[in-house]
Amino acid sequence: MIVTEDIFDNFKDSEGQIIPIKRYTWRNCNGITVQVIAYGSTITSIQIPDKNGVFGDIVMGFDDMAGYRNSLNPYFGATVGRVANRVGYARFFIGDQQYQISANYNNTHQLHGGFKGFDKVVWESFKNGDEVVMSYDSKDLEEGYPGNVLVNVTYCLTDDNEFIIDFKATTTKPTFINLTNHSYFNLAGHDKGAVELYKHVININADKTTDVDQDSIPTGKLLNVAGTIFDLQIPKILGDVIHKIPGYSGYDHNFCINKGVKQEEGFIARVCHPPSGRTLEIYSNQPGVQFYTSNFLPDQSKPGDVITGKGSANYYKHGALCLETQNYPDAANHNNFPKSIYNPGDTYHHRIVYKFYITT
């Protein structure tokens, strides 16, 4: 295993200081490479072979800091927190104490940690053998959240073609924590678009989803997937189901992972692109996974904003999918959802394993 460090790019902060952004590159014995930068603790590239041995980059991203700092960046590859996903009405309670947090979603709710979440800060980082550790100290009342929260994210690529992400966090006050990685995958290649994404076969180990309102805020109800378009326990071709979601232009839903996988890493999902043979399996200790099919990327058929990514590729709606392992959205506001409030002395722990292989 080879792990190298260099500078991805520089940017000028609000005080005029030039900030160099470290980049780490893993290369295993099979030639697979993964790159992560310290800005947003962000995965910028994953290069894996197809069934003919041709390598391709399977995650969306940018070539420079201008892209990652652009307001159009939809969290490509980033570590998302302090609380991933939605928080209804940008508030939650701990005991009798209400906390009002920043409302960056429809001017009413919060999404992915607020206006300046963990995806928009520079993390401290260092190599530790084959691993890289990135750390961020989130201050008390940052985006409205109580407590100083120290987060460490450890990354490692193995010679078994597994890329492992391990999140740990501690707090000085009771607080709400729910982290995730927000990589956008297209196993045909980051630039291959919806035509190839629709050929992907998706399987999610979940028998329920969280019911949501018109703003995608959970109601607290859990819905059985059996007999519905959300039943992905049996693999489905994405193009056969993506346009059948009632009221949506694709999937953007939390799936409740089947019982028995909540302590150690259990099977979450499998995605395969049959033409290339590239296959991704995801394992995690989290109770949920947000399955999102890039519905809010620019619509190629309509004029408007364009997101130009790596290699001058333009990214459009349904050009990639996300499988964001995490707690259920808005968990602090629903007593029947898994634990989301952490106290001093607790350790938040979230582990993800991305396993890559070829299906022939």
Give, for all 360 residues of the chain, the pLDDT tens digit. 899 999 999 999 888 999 999 999 999 999 999 999 999 999 999 999 999 999 999 999 999 999 999 999 999 999 999 999 999 999 999 999 999 999 999 999 999 999 999 999 999 999 999 999 999 999 999 999 999 999 999 999 999 999 999 999 999 999 999 999 999 999 999 999 999 999 999 999 999 999 999 999 999 999 999 999 999 999 999 999 999 998 889 999 999 999 765 556 899 999 999 999 999 999 999 999 999 999 999 999 888 888 999 999 999 999 999 999 999 999 999 999 999 999 999 999 999 999 999 998
CA distance 170 to 293: 32
Q: List Cα–Cα distances, 330 to 12, 88, 89, 203, in angstroms.
A: 35, 6, 10, 24
CA distance 301 to 146: 44
Q: Which of the following is catalytic: 112, 182, 273, 334? A: 182
Task: Evaluate whether 346 touches 171 at the Cβ level (below 8 Å).
Answer: yes
pLDDT score, position 256? 98
Task: Evaluate whether 105 touches 111 at the Cβ level (below 8 Å).
Answer: yes
| Residue 272: how many other CB atoms lie within 10 Å | 21
Residue 79 β-bridge partners: 181
Q: What is the CATH number of the domain that holds 25?
A: 2.70.98.10
Q: Which domain holds residue 209?
A: 2-358
Q: Which of the following is catalytic: 196, 318, 324, 334? A: 324
The DSSP symbol for 39 reads: B
pLDDT score, position 246? 85
- Strand 266-273 vs strand 252-257: parallel, antiparallel, or unpaired? unpaired
pLDDT score, position 291? 98
pLDDT score, position 305? 83
Q: List Cα–Cα distances, 97 to 81, 83, 219, 258, 348, in angstroms.
A: 21, 18, 21, 33, 21
Task: Evaluate whether 239 touches 199 at the Cβ level (below 8 Å).
Answer: yes
Task: Evaluate whether 205 touches 261 at the Cβ level (below 8 Å).
Answer: yes
pLDDT score, position 122? 97
pLDDT in tens, 122-174: 999 999 999 999 999 999 999 999 999 999 999 999 999 999 999 999 999 99
- Total structural domains in the chain? 1
Look up 182 and say whether it is catalytic. Answer: yes
